[in-house]
Amino acid sequence: MSSNAITIPGSQIQARPWVDELHQWVTTVDHKRLGILYMLSALLFLVIGGVEALIIRIQLMHSHNDFVSPEVFNRMFTMHGTTMIFFVAMPVLFGFANYLVPLMIGARDMAFPRLNAFSFWLSFLGGLLLYFSFLGGSGLYGAGNAPDVGWWAYAPLGARAFSPGHSSDYWTLSLLVSGFGSIGTAINIIATVLCMRCPGMKLSRMPLLAWLNLVMGGMVLIAITPLSAAQIMLLIDRYLGGHFFDTQAGGSAVLWMHFFWIFGHPEVYILVIPAFAFLSEIIPVFSRKPIFGYPVMVAATVAIGLVSTSVWAHHMFSIGMSSYANSFFAITTMAVGIPTGIKIFNWIGTMWGGRIQFKVPMLFCIGFLFQFLIAGLTGIMQAAVPFDWQLTLSYFVVAHFHYVIVGGILFAIFGAFYYWYPKMSGRMLSESLGKWHFWLFLIGFHLTFDVMHIPGLLGMPRRIYTYEPGRGWDTLNFIVTIGAFIQAIAILVFVANLIISYFKGAEAGNDPWDAWTLEWSISSPPPAYNFATVPTVASRRPLWDLKHPEDPDSRYE
């Protein structure tokens, strides 16, 4: 294993014209560049989706506000949800998987580099298609239209009778196209993890990040396929006179719900498992201990993956399923909390007895633990079906899933940015700006999403563009809006940090965190070929073995 990479003469000497440079990025099949492209496109859509969220929040600031019309509001929440799930959360996680999995398993690229580039450009094209709806949404009737059927587009609202024009078609096509991109990436990750590991890296020695992304890849294959099938069926309904979901001709609205949620719930775990992966790498390094209970962590992940494919109808407790069906989905939903709980305990077990360093990546991981705990507990409340009859479709649910996606997944993603940015750019992100980012975002997050639970308990449904005064919702919504703006400021601090540190950050060196996995053995940023000589590993922490030859992990595993 080599710790100093070979530099290619010429690659850093003469500056290329920017057109050449751009051409290199557009035609690249390098997993690291594709990873960065994924992340940049996700950041772009994060800002757009964030602006949509702010429009929603301004409108709901007080009762009977008329900042935007109902049509615009309905487009905003539809576009916000679709953007954040499909064009922010998934791409950024795929980006990290692309960048890190080959490096951590000692490979020189993904298994199918060209498929990798194809998948990225499909996903990105999907995002562009979605936003093109603002121009082409109503065909010849004028611009300014966009999908307004909600991010799950329940039938028959998506049928032509209730959604004329083309806005829903852009939604359908963009999800279909980016879905194929996701399937390509999933196949690639699975093949890479199974076939490209360096000598000595048995499955039982793989970093948890590689393991968790393997499970994520499998879940993408299971979940995205029914979604794509449903989108094709919807297109058949809309253009070829099919009647799958067309209730006016005897079609089934409930069928769409099943199709959508058998995608939709595993999707949550597709997003959260890579977030678990970041925690499983970051917490050990900043606690200076190996992960507690590695085999159990792997088993818990696989268990989450399996159980999460049988919980989807908990999104449908209010549609009038039989009491037996409701009980079944209650027990499966509660059961998924068991392996998730095991994971939280194992992360605490990792910190227990360690030497915890409160660097910014670790701060975000601690935020994750705390918020994900609450998100899990409010999830248990909704698994109690009768309680869910009150909570579902209310602001309580909105608060709950933002707790998962923002308080959990986004916090882990921020942690991952602070942790791996030095590897990707060669420069450290500023710790002081990072702390500003963390504390501002933490305060904004809690103002927004803690308070948001209460209007739900007081009877405020989601997706309403305005509400009646005198229900006790005004003050609460005002606080929520203030919190949203604080979060927006924190995001600006983060973006500023990314840009400033790229030019002025401290040199990172190969291994700024004194970490233990293979990506830290090579230069920052890594050369195109990753490893000059393919490494050989003897344990789960190859760099620990290298740094502590007197006490290597390989002796205990």
- State which of positions 218-277 bind another protein (CB under 8 A): 247-248, 250-254
Q: Which is nearer to another protein, 62 or 462 (by Cβ)?
A: 462
Closer CB to another protein, 177 or 442, in the complex: 442
Shortest distance in whole angstroms from residue 381 CB to another protein:
5
Q: Give, as one character, the DSSP assignment of residue 461.
A: B
Residues 419-458, interacting with another protein (CB under 8 A): 442, 446, 450-451, 453-454, 457-458
Pick out residues in 140-159 that bind another protein (CB under 8 A). 148, 150, 154-157
Distance CA 542, CA 557 (A): 12
- Reduce the secondary structure of 395-425 to three states and give it as a string: HHHHHHHHHHHHHHHHHHHHHHHHHHHHHHH
Contacts of residue 547, Cβ cutoff 8 Å, sequence gap at least 6:
514
Q: Could you tell me the smallest distance in angstroms from the CB atom of residue 253 to another protein?
A: 5
Distance CA 211, CA 277 (A): 8
For residues 395 and 34, what is the distance between their CA atoms, to the nearest angstrom?
37
Please state the closest distance from residue 290 (CB atom) to another protein, in A.
6
d(CA 63, CA 320): 32
Residue 519 vs 553, nearer CB to another protein: 553
Report CA dihedral (285, 289, 290, 291) to the nearest 10 degrees: -80
Closest CB to another protein among residues 257, 275: 257
Shortest approach of another protein to residue 113 CB, angstroms?
A: 36
# of chain residues touching another protein (CB under 8 A):
105
| 167 and 158 Cβ atoms separated by less than 8 Å | no
Q: How far is the CB of 357 from another protein (least distance, A)?
A: 5
| Beta-bridge partner residues of 394 | 461
Token digits for 78? 């539809």
The smaller minimum CB distance to another protein, of residues 2 and 327, is found at 327
Nearer to another protein, 225 or 435 (CB): 435
Q: Which positions from 378 through 407 interact with another protein, judged by CB under 8 A?
A: 378, 380-381, 383-394
Residue 333 CB, nearest approach to another protein (Å): 10
To another protein, the closest distance from the beta carbon of 331 in angstroms equals: 5
Tokens 């500056």 -> residue:
15
Among 259, 294, 364, 520, binds another protein (CB under 8 A): 294
CB of 142 or CB of 459, closer to another protein: 459
Give the shortest CB-320-to-another protein separation in angstroms: 3
Among positions 142, 164, 353, 509, the unique one binding another protein when judged by CB under 8 A: 353
Which of residues 138 and 466 has its CB atom nearest to another protein in the complex? 466
Nearest to 261, CA basis, from 182, 333, 203 = 333
17-53 as b/e: b if 16+ CB within 10 A: eeeeeeeeeeebbbbbbbbbbbbbbbbebbebbbebb
**Cβ closer to another protein: 270 or 285?**
285
Specify the stretch interacting with another protein by CB under 8 A; choose among 121-129, 196-204, 363-371, 415-423: 363-371
Q: Which two structure tokens, joined as six digits, stand for 473?
A: 């919702």
Segment lying near another protein (by CB under 8 A), choices 101-109, 410-418, 467-475, 525-533:
467-475
Is 218:269 a contact under the CB 8 Å cutoff?
A: no
Shortest Å distance, C-beta 101 to another protein: 23
Q: Choose between 196 and 464: whose C-beta lies nearer to another protein.
A: 464
> Beta-carbon neighbour count of residue 2 at 10 Å?
12
Alpha-carbon distance values, 291 to 15, 96, 207, 286, 350 (Å): 43, 20, 10, 11, 5
Contacts for 207 with CB less than 8 Å, ≥ 6 apart:
104, 105, 281, 517, 518, 540
Cα separation, 311 vs 261, whole angstroms: 9
Q: Which two tokens stand for residue 306?
A: 């399996």
Inter-residue contact 376 to 408 (CB < 8 Å): no
- Smallest CA-to-CA distance from 125 within 52, 47, 180, 166 is with 180
164 binds another protein (CB under 8 A): no
Residues 295-324 that bind another protein (CB under 8 A): 295-296, 318-320, 322-323
Residue 467 beta carbon to another protein: minimum distance, rounded to whole angstroms: 7
| Closer Cβ to another protein, 7 or 248, answer by number | 248
- For residues 495 and 515, give the distance between their C-alpha atoms in angstroms, rounded to a whole number: 26
Closest to another protein by CB, 47 vs 325, is: 325
* Of positions 356, 479, 495, 500, contacts another protein by CB under 8 A: 356
**Cβ closer to another protein: 344 or 433?**
344
Q: How far is the CB of 13 from another protein (least distance, A)?
A: 39
Hey, which residues between 45 and 104 contact another protein (CB under 8 A)?
69-71, 74
Site for another protein in 320-349 (CB under 8 A): 320, 322-323, 326-327, 330-331, 334-335, 337-338, 341-342, 344-346, 348-349
* Dist CA 451 CA 448 (whole Å): 6
